[in-house]
Amino acid sequence: MTVAASNLGFPRIGLARELKKALEGYWAGRSTAEDLQKDALSLRKRHWLIMKEAGIHFIPSNDFSLYDHILDAAELFGVIPKRYQEITDPLSRYFAMARGLQDAAVGIDLQALEMTKWFDTNYHYIVPELERQQTFTLSPEKILREIEEARALGLEVRPVIPGPVTFLKLSKWAGSQETGDSTLKLLTALLPCYRQLLGLLEQQGVSWIQLDEPCLTLDLDELERAAYRQAFAFLSGDQARPRIVLTTYFGGLGDNLALALESGFEALHLDLVRAPEQLDSVLKEIGSKMILSLGVVDGRNIWRTDLDRAHRLIRRAVTQLGTDRVIIAPSCALLHSPVDLSRETSLDPIIRSWLAFSTQKLHEIKALADAATENFPQNEFFVEARHAVATRARSPLTCRPEVQTRLRELTPAMLQREPFVVRNRQQKQRLGLPLLPTTTIGSFPQTGDVRGARAAWRAGRMSEADYQEFLEKETQNCVARQEQLGLDVLVHGEFERNDMVEYFGEQMEGFAFTENGWVQSYGSRCVKPPVLYGDVRRTGPMTVAWSRYAQSLTTRPMKGMLTGPVTILQWSFVRDDQPRSATCMQLALALRDELVDLEAAGIPIIQVDEPAVREGLPLRRGERSAYLQWAVDAFRLATSGVRCETQIHTHMCYAQFGDILEAIAAMDADVISIETSRSHMELLQDFGHFQYPNEVGPGVYDIHSPRVPTQEEMEELLQRAAEVLPVARLWVNPDCGLKTRGWPEVEAALARMVAAAKRTRERLTETSGYRRQDDSSQPLSQNAST
């Protein structure tokens, strides 16, 4: 008897990002809908054949998507908000929901549906919008079509379908209907559609489906558990249907284990990479029927699997359950892994031998399934993998004793600056800034010229000297324009940077870079995270030359610009052979040295961007405080090596972080700039209620849109900010970096922003006699009441 190998989902984007190109060609009108569908079909076929050739028995379908699988599920159940329904062409309507649609000719101006992060990954899904009286209708065409396509290749597939509870939990109420009650209210209305779908699939002769319920790994309240019980009872019932593997991932089942085991479904998938410890309790409780799918190959990272370790878990299950009740699988869909390592020809061959991308992971799964009945697998595949894992463990490439020594010798004093009030006084004296100082978040437009020059230099078509000169000119221009605009604190513009993580990774030991290690972020957008494989060490100053140069061009204060330790960690493929916290502290030490060097070079203000702090927050509440503790420590370690008079800024965006304000305050940056303009400063309310102790720059305009806001709008936002936070502690800035924008709109918007700040400044000093030097000033609202 053999154990079956399975996959839960293959990356859609394609080996050479074919899907990206097909989509962008279609959106730009360069190709037709038929071209797009043809390209998409050939990708699906290619991926199915890769899985077949790897010997995968359970091959997924409906994991492919033209944009996003949750948007597909919304279509599947007819969750199409009214405003899109006038678009008759289904493909145009689909993309209108995904990306918005503007067509002045026919008077259409539709915004996209909201997009948000898929659990704690860097993938973003489209948030379905539900009406209070939502009705659901089944549109199974996509699922049925893909089954047929696979059959044309001689393959039987296992369709992937987001489960009903997860689907509703990830959706939101449309517009103003948000009142805090759960979307699970609609479960009873939705379930018949699932049943209908199961019936249809049964008729089509589909023998298995994969029902994804990742929300089973979250903290659930009683209402949510009841919803699960209701859904399971309804779907597992006596109807003729395909068999179902209830699929959980991104964590352990924990206190939801009984719920999952009582589902009445035929199989249960466990994430044994994130939560290997759950196997024991599952084996204890599982009973005599259910099949276990063991997610032992990491779907979210790029390391070669320690096959022996995985094999030991598998043996425990097989010994108890027998071969026909065990399936081998990746921990989650391979959506989060790049496609194929064999394309990486310029990686260090030793480092390369430690890695496995999606295609390689399939072979690991198959090898583990084949060896499931053996006690000590000695085949070539195992021997080679064992060797790779062993060399990685003792490689001088990963281990730098001096870094480890430094880490061991950390003292609490290294995380501690003087109190904010002391620093603030010195900084005010040194900087002499006006009330409501104006600044930007760092980057200025990365124009075609800038990207073109970088590409030419990388390809060797532009000399080092010419590139340097080009960047100097860009920086000069940027500084001059900021002076003309009348900004108070300037930045150099970040023209030398491709990306806020890669730029630093490239200058530190411990990082490697792939050529094609792309992972989908959303729609056609992909990211190529660096591989953080070893102890991190800065080999020399990384940003000092550019900051010093920029400061030499102006008498106004220049802000140095760094990416924080948590963000670098969060946006890389991180080594799994030591705790993430240890890796983060190494990054913090390297950055600490950089801050000290910037200070010595005369840079008075240094911003350490941490946009990713919120997204690193563990899914389970019980794990959060430990994470926040080390994340805060890392930031403090990075920023506490400088003197009082050096002002530390940080910047956060991309998330609601109202729920981690305490930790943000504990980071103790002198100034934090935040994204608030889109939410009309809702976040600011949180800052106000919490009484955020240091200075705050609420973003007064949304840089994610080319629209130039009016001066009045920004004054209005500033006024609101002044009502909840002490005026003497407010800054004025856009809500994020300007790199994706064009110069004309940036100059227009910043001119109005500076004017708004001046006007508000005048008004406040006239009416209330505010001066920036007043530490004790209260928010306007409190002043008014006294």
Determine if 653 is a binding residue for Zn ion (CB under 5 A). yes
Just list the catalytic residues.
704
Among Zn ion, ligand GLN, none, the one that 500 touches (CB under a kind-dependent 5 to 8 A) is ligand GLN
Enumerate residues 579-638 that contact Zn ion by CB under 5 A: 611
Beta carbon nearer to ligand GLN, 121 or 182:
121
The CA distance from 630 to 613, in Å, is 11
Least distance CB 652 / ligand GLN (angstroms): 8
Nearest 10 degrees: Cα torsion 142, 145, 149, 151? 120
Beta bridge partners of 268: 246, 292
Beta carbon nearer to Zn ion, 588 or 736:
736
Beta carbon nearer to ligand GLN, 21 or 528:
528
C-alpha distances in angstroms, 537 versus 401, 462, 591? 11, 29, 9
The CA distance from 719 to 760, in Å, is 8
| SS3 track for 112-169 | CCCEEECCCCCCEEECCEECCCCCCCCCCHHHHHHHHHHHHCCCCEEEEEECHHHHHH
Tokens found for residue 449: 């010229």
Residue 624 class from Cβ within 10 Å (0-12 exposed, 13-18 middle, 19+ buried)?
middle
Q: Residue count at the site for Zn ion (CB under 5 A)?
A: 3
Per-residue burial over 120-144, b if 16 or more Cβ lie within 10 Å, else e, is: ebbbbbbbbbbeeebebebebebbb
Nearest 10 degrees: Cα torsion 53, 56, 58, 61? -40
Beta carbon nearer to ligand GLN, 443 or 639:
443
Contacting range for Zn ion; rule: CB under 5 A; set: 90-98, 187-195, 547-555, 652-660? 652-660
Provide the 3-class DSSP secondary structure of residue 485. Answer: helix
Contacting range for Zn ion; rule: CB under 5 A; set: 99-107, 395-403, 580-588, 731-739? 731-739
| String of contacts with Zn ion for each residue 757-786, x by CB under 5 A | ------------------------------
Least distance CB 470 / ligand GLN (angstroms): 19
Among ligand GLN, Zn ion, none, the one that 569 touches (CB under a kind-dependent 5 to 8 A) is none
Least distance CB 19 / ligand GLN (angstroms): 25
Tokens found for residue 685: 């309310």
Beta carbon nearer to ligand GLN, 68 or 494:
494
Among Zn ion, ligand GLN, none, the one that 61 touches (CB under a kind-dependent 5 to 8 A) is none
Among Zn ion, ligand GLN, none, the one that 739 touches (CB under a kind-dependent 5 to 8 A) is ligand GLN
Least distance CB 527 / Zn ion (angstroms): 15
Determine if 561 is a binding residue for Zn ion (CB under 5 A). no
Among ligand GLN, Zn ion, none, the one that 609 touches (CB under a kind-dependent 5 to 8 A) is ligand GLN
Q: What residue ranges bind ligand GLN (CB under 6 A)? A: 441-443, 494, 500, 561, 609, 611, 651, 653, 736-737, 739
Among Zn ion, ligand GLN, none, the one that 134 touches (CB under a kind-dependent 5 to 8 A) is none
Least distance CB 415 / ligand GLN (angstroms): 24
The CA distance from 86 to 48, in Å, is 36
**CB-based contacts of 88, cutoff 8 Å, min separation 6:** none
Least distance CB 111 / ligand GLN (angstroms): 22
The CA distance from 559 to 556, in Å, is 10
Other beta carbons less than 10 A from residue 240's beta carbon:
8
Among Zn ion, ligand GLN, none, the one that 442 touches (CB under a kind-dependent 5 to 8 A) is ligand GLN
Beta carbon nearer to ligand GLN, 146 or 502:
502
Beta carbon nearer to Zn ion, 50 or 672:
672
